[in-house]
Amino acid sequence: MINLKNLKNLKQGFKDLTPLQITQAKMSCYVGMAIGAGLATIKFFQAGSWGLGIFIFSVMLLQIVSFKIELQSYKGLKEIEKELKEQQTLQDTLKEAK
């Protein structure tokens, strides 16, 4: 039986995720999938299934490219977060000066 309190907590947790946390999760998934695809590629090549090995290898390359795109997004989000914190501290000091 599903506990409704746990479902509500889970739903609230998803709402509280920041874009930075979502980007970090995507990056870790891309790395894990690339490693898994790399291992599968090696296994298929060893088994002599070259066509499937090449296909899985291309999937691995796509995961690496996706990781690089998310890494750029992560760096941009970190910079934006830093600027927002600076603006917030500046606003706080202005409020204290009044």
Alpha-carbon distance 20 to 42, whole Å? 33
What pLDDT score does 2 carry?
A: 67
Name the residue with tokens 């790399």.
38
Is residue 85 one of the residues assigned to a domain? yes
Is residue 13 one of the residues assigned to a domain? no
Q: What are the residues whose beta carbons fall under 8 Å from the beta carbon of 34, sequence distance 6 or more?
A: 60, 63, 64, 67
pTM higher than 0.85: no
- What digits encode the pLDDT tens for the residues 21-79? 888 888 888 899 999 988 998 998 888 888 888 888 898 899 999 999 999 998 998 99
- Total domain count for the chain? 1
Instruction: Determine the structural domain holding residue 89 and report its residue range.
Output: 20-97
Is residue 33 one of the residues assigned to a domain? yes
Name the residue with tokens 């830093």.
82
Is residue 9 one of the residues assigned to a domain? no
Is residue 91 one of the residues assigned to a domain? yes
Is residue 1 one of the residues assigned to a domain? no
Is residue 10 one of the residues assigned to a domain? no
